[in-house]
Amino acid sequence: MKSIMFIAPPAAGKGTQAEIIANKYNIPHISTGNILREIAKENTEIGNYIYETMSNGDLVKDEITYKLIENRLSLKDCKNGYIIDGFPRNLEQAIKYDEILKKVDLELGYVFALNIDKKELEKRVIGRRICENCNTTYNINEEHEMPRIESICDICGGNLYQRKDDNLDAFEARYKNYLEQTTDIIKYYEEKNILYHINGNASVEKIAQEIDSIISKEGKKNDND
């Protein structure tokens, strides 16, 4: 299956959608944010740098991000498709991504742009909670996304935490950055005819259905070729 990329503002639900597709099609979900958050836990020079940068809502240096992506995409489990989430974040990264793909012998697949209102994003950012153990995401401001017991993961019983950058100040910086940078990437992928706009204000289930119908339609087309 082709790889899948998500372009979406912070807290738009791309991580949730990525998990749904990853489970359904049994492909890895590669989130640069998750990879960087893991490194940020280490008390090393690079760990501390990443922690500070992420806390401010700024982008981590390209040289670090590129190396992480290349290493991750070189692993065997990416050969049958994967989901990339959080990368590329600007045109420069998109162009570099083409180079990395060539190097690791993979191809660009689907690009899904999740479009969603800013007010809704602010609500989601403030309410987002994540399991420190299995990374499942909840939202205490959404009836259908609340954990059953406050601060405890329904799935593994791990503690839920709030991301350091999930506050309105860091959100403003991340959102501004997103708007400035993504217009160009969206155009870049539209011109390649691989970009699909999705209404991110719809329910989790509806969005998942819409994405799935696009992927399965393509799958059927290829079967008939």
Site track 79-98 with ligand AMP (rule: CB under 6 A), x = hit: -------xx-x---x-----
Active site residue 72: no
Active site residue 163: yes
Residue selected from 174, 178, 200, 211 as contacting ligand AMP according to rule CB under 6 A: 174
**CA-closest candidate to residue 91, choices 166, 11, 192, 15:** 192
Restricting to residues 119-138, name those near ligand AMP by CB under 6 A: none
CA–CA separation, 121 and 12 (whole Å): 6
Rounded (to 5) percent helix, strand, coil in the chain: 55, 15, 30
For residue 60, state whether it binds ligand AMP (rule: CB under 6 A).
Answer: yes
CA–CA separation, 109 and 96 (whole Å): 16
Q: Tell me the residue type at 22.
A: A
Residue selected from 9, 13, 57, 109 as contacting ligand AMP according to rule CB under 6 A: 57
Active site residue 128: yes
Residue selected from 39, 59, 91, 140 as contacting ligand AMP according to rule CB under 6 A: 59
Report residue 130: phi and psi, to 5°: -130, 145
Nearer to ligand AMP, 15 or 81 (CB): 15
Decide: 14 and 116 in contact? Cβ < 8 Å.
Answer: no
Decide: 120 and 152 in contact? Cβ < 8 Å.
Answer: no
Q: Minimum distance between the CB of residue 221 and ligand AMP, rounded to whole angstroms?
A: 31
Residue selected from 53, 135, 141, 167 as contacting ligand AMP according to rule CB under 6 A: 53
Interacting residues with ligand AMP (CB under 6 A): 10, 32-33, 36, 53-54, 57-60, 65, 86-87, 89, 93, 165, 174
